[in-house]
Structure 1
């Protein structure tokens, strides 16, 4: 959206858009989420800065921080390079809104935010929990414990999140393992399937999340596969039966009362994105998050 780069040194931005162009490169058929940040930026040129049904949005105080310099496919680079880069954003006083990247790109964001704010309440919209057991069937004995499927398992292990105040929303579809939702619940997370989510009105979701996250700063993690592939085909692992674009945007607007200290938008895969529709919808999600952050902070100050 032609946002400015930060000053050098950064001069107190309120919100920073940050790209983490990373995927682990182990998906059996869809590699490409590493190109997500640039793709979302490209499609954002089609957006206007004002949301007609929500009033004008002043984009002052928002910067595009650029992309973290790292090597896609190397987890050591993700953890060693992205964590301090995000810590720098947080230290500037800005709320990071991260463009992924696959689900592992969320992990260094959680590390940086938890170091500043303590254990987080995670509100995770995704077709998958990403809180699977450590070793999926058939995995090598020395398999890397951090994968796109275990991001939120590792986050509990490291004390980055408070699972009792965290929730996975929109879960559905096929899995390689049984009882994945049960495992997430054993870790302490709440889990709502897509059917349970769409049964809620946005105001009911607001009440649920305000109560569930009470007392904790919130990280919002929005995986684009929470949308139905009819709305967002260009994702790493599409699952039929997801949210429509209208439903997803309405649920985003229900998050204004939450104390959101960081957010990420994950798993846009440009090689699989027909006509750029997923990238454009992801850019709109980012704009909605920015508006939600602004509106929520304004309400709390009032």
Structure 2
């Protein structure tokens, strides 16, 4: 039997009808009998180039109407296992990153305390720091896997410590990430210098630039990810610019030479068995996504993560 909360069926009501929630899930704030909550975090003033990702949650929800319940690749019906809701958006303060951090952390705390897995839709990548602060309050330092074309471990931009290029350096400094169980995959593009990847390694991350991934092969890298993460609680952060801009043009800092949408699915499916306790998907910028294909990929990446969580919880 399905769990308490599940999407409206496309066989009963048309997919173009109704209020736009993620995958047509009910919009619910009561966390009783909820396993996973999809949550929008519409903040984008931590960016250093293109703004507009504040509209990402709405765009991903719009394109998620096409999602169905059964994942044939993983052989799991998500809503037979999980009770999932769209929790709505967390409050933010446009233009004020530290005020927004406080509100995001406060907004996520009751979700985590209820034992619910939050899946956050950004917004720019700066929001991850606030999410990690809330997650670490619940679990302590967590394992961490990041699919991204940038490491986001720079020290500062324009003299500022909090931007979408710095969250994971701050997270390590604050003791939010267990760096012995932390890995970054997909980095590519031009750099400020050779030290850009070295600074991530110096912080304790295992780093797999795209060129190394291509040489080793995706199955080998997935095995490296699983080995690195181990059995403890894990935070998954997926920047949509991990996907090549020919597939995902709607993002703030695109880099060519990336992964296909099919490969993005493969990486997330490879996390089956990993103890995911929180996730975010960030940097969807609808103004540069006129056909909605970036938001469509983002919605499907979240569906793959939901499928992994369901597979992990499905009775033997």
Fold match (TM-score > 0.5)? yes
Task: List runs of 5+ in structure 2 lacking aligned partners.
Answer: 1-22
Higher mean C-alpha deviation, range 231-240 or range 198-207 = 198-207
Report the alpha carbon displacement of residue 210 of structure 1 after superposing the two structures with TM: 2.5
Which residue in the other structure is 1:49 paired with? 69
Matched residue of 1:166: which SS? strand
- Whether 1:256 and 2:272 are equivalent positions in the alignment is yes
Which residue in the other structure is 2:283 paired with? 267
Task: List runs of 5+ in structure 1 lacking aligned partners.
Answer: none
Which residue in the other structure is 2:166 paired with? 150
Instruction: Give runs of aligned pairs for residues 228-243 of structure 1, distance below 5 A.
Output: 228-243=244-259
Which residue in the other structure is 1:11 paired with? 32
Matched residue of 1:144: which SS? coil
Mapped to 2, the partners of 1:177 and 1:146 lie a distance apart of 21
TM value normalised by structure 2 = 0.87
Contact 1:119–1:216 (8 Å) recurs in 2:
no
Which residue in the other structure is 2:16 paired with? none
Seen in structure 2, the aligned counterparts of structure 1 residues 290 and 178 have a Cα distance that, compared at 3 Å, is same
Contact 1:253–1:292 (8 Å) recurs in 2:
yes
Mapped to 2, the partners of 1:217 and 1:228 lie a distance apart of 29
Which residue in the other structure is 2:20 paired with? none
Q: What is the CA RMSD across the aligned residues, in angstroms?
A: 1.7
Instruction: Give runs of aligned pairs for residues 83-122 of structure 1, distance below 5 A.
Output: 83-122=105-144
Matched residue of 1:235: which SS? coil
Q: What does the per-residue CA deviation read over 1:35-69, in whole Å, with 9 as the maximum and x for residues that have no partner?
A: 11011001111222323443352425000011001
1:34 to 54, 62, 79: 54
Matched residue of 1:165: which SS? strand
TM value normalised by structure 1 = 0.91
Seen in structure 2, the aligned counterparts of structure 1 residues 258 and 89 have a Cα distance that, compared at 3 Å, is same
Contact 2:74–2:269 (8 Å) recurs in 1:
no
Contact 1:202–1:254 (8 Å) recurs in 2:
no
- May I ask how many residue pairs the two structures share in their alignment? 292
Report the alpha carbon displacement of residue 146 of structure 1 after superposing the two structures with TM: 1.3
- Whether 1:131 and 2:153 are equivalent positions in the alignment is yes
Contact 2:51–2:252 (8 Å) recurs in 1:
yes
Contact 2:46–2:162 (8 Å) recurs in 1:
no
Which residue in the other structure is 2:15 paired with? none
Mapped to 2, the partners of 1:222 and 1:25 lie a distance apart of 17
Runs of 4+ in 1 over 3 A off after TM superposition: 52-56, 198-203
